[in-house]
Amino acid sequence: DTAVSQTPKYLVTQMGNDKSIKCEQNLGHDTMYWYKQDSKKFLKIMFSYNNKELIINETVPNRFSPKSPDKAHLNLHINSLELGDSAVYFCASSWAGGIYEQYFGPGTRLTVT
């Protein structure tokens, strides 16, 4: 009964491939997020969805495309993977309409070779 789950936990792939990371939350939250933690350990927001609608879209290459089939799921698809995409990707969720704590998933470590 994990609150925010991500699959896979580890992903190793070659440059140029397309891959997806899945995220699911069972907290009933209506807002979900994707964060990237790079090699310098900075956690930076990439996207946020509220009730399946994109509300935050940071300066992220358009090779990254989030998809929210319903408010409990937010998937991240990455096209034409590059070496610089290697990072840990965290999904998170929270309530909307104010400042609420965000609940994070365990992360997906993506390694592009």
Partner 1 sequence: DQQVKQNSPSLSVQEGRISILNCDYTNSMFDYFLWYKKYPAEGPTFLISISSIKDKNEDGRFTVFLNKSAKHLSLHIVPSQPGDSAVYFCAATVFQGAQKLVFGQGTRLTINP
Sites of contact with partner 1 (CB under 8 A):
4, 31, 40-45, 48, 50, 55-56, 90, 92, 94, 96, 98-107
C-alpha 78/C-alpha 52 separation (Å) is 19
What is the nearest approach in angstroms of partner 1 to the Cβ of residue 80?
A: 27
Q: Rank residues 8 and 42 by Cβ distance to partner 1 and give the closer one.
A: 42
What is the nearest approach in angstroms of partner 1 to the Cβ of residue 41?
A: 5
Q: What is the DSSP string of 29-46?
A: -SEEEEEEE-TT--EEEE
Within 8 A by CB and 6+ apart from 104, the residues are 4, 35, 90, 91, 92
Q: Rank residues 15 and 55 by Cβ distance to partner 1 and give the closer one.
A: 55
What is the nearest approach in angstroms of partner 1 to the Cβ of residue 66?
A: 14
H or E segment and range at residue 65? strand 64-70
Q: Rank residues 10 and 80 by Cβ distance to partner 1 and give the closer one.
A: 10
Q: Rank residues 31 and 68 by Cβ distance to partner 1 and give the closer one.
A: 31
